[in-house]
């Protein structure tokens, strides 16, 4: 099909707008990368923009040579994996019964789930509850409270609605129970939405630090983002800077940038593997209610 002149112009305009958005997203990351690879003197003189000045890898050597940074990254990776698996399990077992016609109380449970999206007890009641449950300063406090997102559950429920009922009815005629139908029919057909929600949960947990900031005092279980948060907030204090291994203001800025890249690159590597599932997972889950 031959495109008209106006259509080609519109395509070029759209491509240019997309290119601008890509630049807006990439330039800050490129700047941080350049700062992490530049010398301390260049940062003090504000000479670094998009290319490193005085190329050196001292900041990365410092980060990788410090056990607390490496352990925090390993712990965050483990925590992200556990939270993603638990969250997908919880999301699945909550969404699946809500698509079964014979499930009594389905409308009531739907209403309860929706209410929790708009109303919650607040930070202080949540803190007191976790304190009474003796979860403060325990690794489970980073897993259990946020193991289910109602928004993601609704996406999965909507996706399940799009699976033909005839498949479930045929399986029931053959004697399959609800659990077997879920495992053998629904889950194999739900790979796009599972991959999409897995990425949502993984990114949310990897970038999360507020729950650890409020509920965790044990530095051993600090996720990498909380460690980065503390560095960015305390680097200008002499005592804390000395404790974290900083010696000069320029070096502090270099280490801050290196730590940001150290915490960002691992999660960025996941996107190319799951990118193809985004459109299928999100749009199919939103087509039918």
Higher pLDDT, 263 or 141: 141
For CA atoms 32, 37, 39, 45, the dihedral sign is negative
**Domain residue spans of the chain:** 5-44, 58-287
Mean pLDDT of 253-281: 73
Among the residue ranges 59-68, 98-107, 139-148, 197-206, the one predicted with the least confidence is 59-68
Rounded Cα–Cα distance for residues 90 and 100 (Å):
17
**pLDDT at 283 exceeding the cut of 60:** no
Rounded Cα–Cα distance for residues 92 and 11 (Å):
40
CATH of 58-287, one of 3.40.718.10, 3.40.50.720, 1.10.3720.10, 3.20.20.70: 1.10.3720.10
Task: Supply the pLDDT for residue 278.
Answer: 60
pLDDT level of residue 288 (50, 70, 90 thresholds): very low
pLDDT per position as a tens digit, 76-86: 999 999 999 99
Rounded Cα–Cα distance for residues 233 and 132 (Å):
31
pLDDT level of residue 263 (50, 70, 90 thresholds): confident
pLDDT per position as a tens digit, 93-152: 999 998 887 788 888 888 888 888 888 888 888 899 999 999 998 999 999 988 999 999
Decide: residue 207, CB within 10 A, 0-12 exposed, 13-18 middle, 19+ buried. Answer: middle
């Amino acid at each position: 099909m031959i495109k008209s002149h106006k259509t080609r112009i519109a395509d070029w305009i759209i491509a240019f707008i997309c290119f601008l958005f890509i630049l807006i997203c990439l330039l800050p990351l490129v700047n941080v990368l350049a700062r992490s690879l530049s010398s301390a003197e260049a940062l003090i003189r504000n000479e670094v923009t998009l290319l490193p000045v005085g190329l050196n890898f001292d900041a990365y050597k410092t980060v990788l040579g410090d056990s607390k940074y490496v352990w925090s990254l390993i712990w965050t990776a483990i925590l992200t994996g556990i939270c993603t698996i638990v969250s997908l399990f919880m999301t699945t077992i909550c969404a699946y019964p809500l698509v079964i016609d014979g499930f009594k109380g389905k409308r009531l449970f739907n209403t309860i789930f929706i209410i929790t999206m708009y109303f919650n007890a607040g930070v202080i009641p949540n803190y007191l509850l976790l304190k009474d449950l003796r979860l403060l300063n325990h690794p489970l406090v980073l897993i259990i409270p946020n193991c289910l997102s109602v928004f993601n559950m609704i996406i999965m429920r909507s996706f399940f609605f799009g699976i033909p009922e005839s498949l479930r009815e045929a399986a029931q005629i053959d004697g399959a129970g609800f659990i077997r139908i879920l495992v053998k029919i629904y889950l194999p057909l739900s790979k796009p939405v599972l991959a999409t929600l897995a990425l949502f949960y993984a990114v949310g947990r990897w970038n999360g630090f507020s729950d650890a900031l409020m509920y965790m005092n044990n530095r051993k279980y600090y996720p990498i983002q909380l460690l980065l948060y503390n560095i960015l907030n305390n680097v200008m204090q002499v005592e804390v800077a000395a404790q974290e291994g900083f010696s000069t203001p320029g070096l502090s800025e270099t280490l801050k940038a290196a730590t940001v890249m150290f915490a960002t690159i691992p999660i960025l590597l996941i996107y190319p593997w799951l990118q193809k599932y985004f459109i299928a997972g999100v749009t199919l889950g939103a087509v039918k209610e």
